[in-house]
Chains A and B, each alone.
Chain A
Amino acid sequence: MAVLLKALLDSGELQNVDITPLEKSSLGGVGVNTHLLYELVPPGTDALAPQNALIFGVGALVGTMIPTACRTEATAKSPLSGRFGSANSGGSFGPSLRFAGYSYLALLGRAPSPVMLVIDDSGARLENAEGLWGLTVWEATDSIKEQLGHDFSVLAIGPAGENQVRFASIQNDYFASFGRTGLGAVMGSKNVKAVAVRGSGSVDVADRGAFQKIRKEAFDRVKAEPSYGFMKRYGSMVAADPFDVMSSLPGRNFTVGSYPDWEKTRGRKAFESRYKERDVACFACPIACAHWSKVKEEGPHQGLATRGLEVTFVMEFGAKLDLVSIPEIFRCVDICNHYGMDVISAAGSVAFLIEAFNCGLISAEEIGFAPQWGNYDSISQLLLLIAKRRGIGCLLAEGVKHASAVIPGAQKLAMHVKGVEIPVKDPRAKCDTFTFGYLTNTRGGDSLRTRSPVEALLQGMQDYKTEPLGVDPAQIEKLDMPPRLKEEIFGGPPRGVNLPRMACYAENLITIVNSVGMCIRPPVLRSLGPDFYARALQAVTGESYDAESVYASAAAIWNLQHAFNVREGENESDYVYPDRFYEQSLPGREGKTVQPLSRTEVAENISGYFKARGWKS
């Protein structure tokens, strides 16, 4: 049974609702969240008003032994984009919620004063959290665990969420985040400081024999995927060097595609050899792509320990802001984790300001000091000002779209799509499914809902409509993907990847993954597909699924997210990159110059994408 806990924050009433039929029809996780958001939040609602809903969804596989099935999806109308907002996080919160007997939470209305939602075997209750308000994520989480027990899993916002920074995160047991689209600000607007959960119930499966088989198959396939060993060793940092080789770093607010000293200073081996100590896993994950890391070298950051270096962290603080020192990058991430801010939007906002300052559009007097690329003191100071909404930080806390409308002449420096700061990779140097996703993602400028299962990390585009195959053509036959789609996307025999059609497929595939509650790391994304997920859902829930029905449900979920955005005023003209990508070339590796993108070609790809989705222009 799938139970939704509705917290009516104005009255303090808590209701349990059986939503098993909705979970069946919408796959669960992000699928359920999307349906609830569409129904609960009227068009035009201010994302920071009580009428917004903040929903947490945990898919049907979470809590079972299926590898990586631990993830939680959080969804609300985004205060950053004003559109569909959603973020996903691992750790142990999802399984804990399921062991407590719940799969979904909806925070509705606004509590009259700060509260914390506590869920355990005795039920759910709202507790006074006035004493926690104002604390950092670390302080609040420490305090909650001290009070309730260290086996509680805790989601908490920090000062950025309380101050309604439009890209505030919700932190998940300290280090993991629901990072993108500002859901921490929504939680802050509802006066909810934290959600704490512990459960001792069981997660049962409907067909034990089928489950045992599918469990073995999942472990075998994930571990046999060639990316498994690399992910275990480097985590997402495996991509750090290829991004530089391809001249696709987002250096200095997307004006530098490569740094001569990149691999030596900020590459994956620099991280591994100097800082990585041991592997760390989310619940039920055999990959363990995170790494406990420590700064051993003498200096101001000596002794700093953290949950490793993600490629996002090094791209945002190392490339976008040109911090050369990994300890300084760690420290900036640390600030974001403690204060509760999305790393990508925070770094993007600081990068925007530094470039505006360098262009003479804003003065040192207006900022309070002179910010510089690669200068830790000024960058960390700006992060703190944003989190506290003080001085120039109050403007940057609105995100670059809004800030650029306030600083005359700065709009061309605002690197966002649909109000969401774009991450980690420059599409001029790597026009692929990943960067095309900045345009098509229903949550705005972001790549994580559009990752190809045959991504080619070290090859540029063949032409705008075709991406090189990232695997041997013989592998395509083994790929878990409906055969009709293989021919549509790769051709027969496989020749390349049709980019607009792959974008649709990748989005639908990731929607399935985010619905059932698994992870999109390459060993999973590349080895498992709709057929596997259908059989896994069937074994666990006892309901009838097949690959085509699961895929169709995922497409319907994506369409509903799009419908939510259209209801808020989105149209095809919003599917554009910042002007810089169409108008300026990019200095790349070893003196290479990367040419700007063609507006016409990109627009044609968008038309192809709309056609593949069956949407009207």
Chain B
Amino acid sequence: MADRPQISCDAVKCTGCRICMLACSWVNTKTHNPRNSFIRVDVNEKNFACRILLDTEKCRRCLSCVSFCPSGALQAVEAENMQEGGRSNGCTA
């Protein structure tokens, strides 16, 4: 898995749709359950600020979340570029 792209996330671009959570849950359990997702988006409904939390221990980098992300907030990044272009703007590993 070390050679697979990593996931870069930008919470400023995130619209809070949480499709990534459903996509991850589907890959993991073939059901829809945000609790079974390895990526979590917390949306503050009062100002729509988003916080993205990625469980890097459990994430298998299948990139299903990236492929469904409609806003470009989640991007696949080659591992060697991750330090510079990696998790930023409110994203927590």
* A interface list, Cβ under 8 A from B: 63-65, 67, 91-92, 99, 142, 150-151, 153, 173-175, 200-205, 208, 219, 223, 278-288, 292, 305, 307
Known: A91-B45, A219-B68, A307-B48. A283 touches B18 (CB 8 A): yes
Asked if B70 is an interface residue, CB under 8 A from chain A, the answer is yes
Asked if B71 is an interface residue, CB under 8 A from chain A, the answer is yes
Known: A64-B22, A219-B68, A284-B19. A292 touches B32 (CB 8 A): no
Residues on the A chain within 8 Å of B71, using CB: 279, 281, 288
Residues on the B chain within 8 Å of A150, using CB: 42, 44
A545 CA to B66 CA in the complex, in Å? 33
Q: Are A305 and B17 in contact (CB under 8 A)?
A: no
Q: Are A208 and B30 in contact (CB under 8 A)?
A: yes
Asked if B58 is an interface residue, CB under 8 A from chain A, the answer is no
Q: Are B26 and A65 in contact (CB under 8 A)?
A: yes
Q: Are A173 and B45 in contact (CB under 8 A)?
A: yes
Contact residue among A92, A174, A278 (Cβ-Cβ distance under 8 Å from B46): A174
Asked if B76 is an interface residue, CB under 8 A from chain A, the answer is no
Contact residue among A202, A286, A307 (Cβ-Cβ distance under 8 Å from B32): A202
Asked if B16 is an interface residue, CB under 8 A from chain A, the answer is yes
Q: Are A292 and B33 in contact (CB under 8 A)?
A: no
Q: Mark B7-34, 1 if CB is under 8 A from A, else 0.
A: 0000011011111001101100111111
A–B complex contacts, Cβ < 8 Å, 5 sampled: A65-B19, A174-B45, A203-B31, A278-B13, A281-B15
Contact residue among A99, A283, A286, A305 (Cβ-Cβ distance under 8 Å from B33): A99
Q: Are B18 and A292 in contact (CB under 8 A)?
A: no
Contact residue among A91, A204, A279, A307 (Cβ-Cβ distance under 8 Å from B31): A204
Residues on the B chain within 8 Å of A279, using CB: 15, 71
* B interface list, Cβ under 8 A from A: 12-13, 15-19, 22-23, 25-26, 29-36, 42-48, 68, 70-71
Residues on the A chain within 8 Å of B29, using CB: 202
CB closest residue in chain A, given B30: A208
Q: Are B36 and A278 in contact (CB under 8 A)?
A: no
A64 CA to B18 CA in the complex, in Å? 11
Residues on the A chain within 8 Å of B31, using CB: 202-205
* 6 residue pairs, one from A and one from B, having the closest CB atoms: A286-B70, A281-B17, A281-B15, A202-B33, A288-B15, A202-B31
Q: Are B17 and A292 in contact (CB under 8 A)?
A: no
A142 CA to B12 CA in the complex, in Å? 23
Extra contacts, 15 of them, besides A64-B22, A99-B33, A278-B12 (Cβ < 8 A), are A65-B32, A153-B45, A174-B46, A175-B45, A202-B29, A203-B32, A203-B33, A204-B31, A278-B13, A279-B15, A281-B17, A284-B17, A284-B18, A285-B17, A288-B17
A92 CA to B15 CA in the complex, in Å? 13
A200 CA to B33 CA in the complex, in Å? 7
A463 CA to B17 CA in the complex, in Å? 42
Which of B13, B18, B35 has most chain A Cβ within 10 Å? B18
A572 CA to B2 CA in the complex, in Å? 70
CB closest residue in chain A, given B45: A173
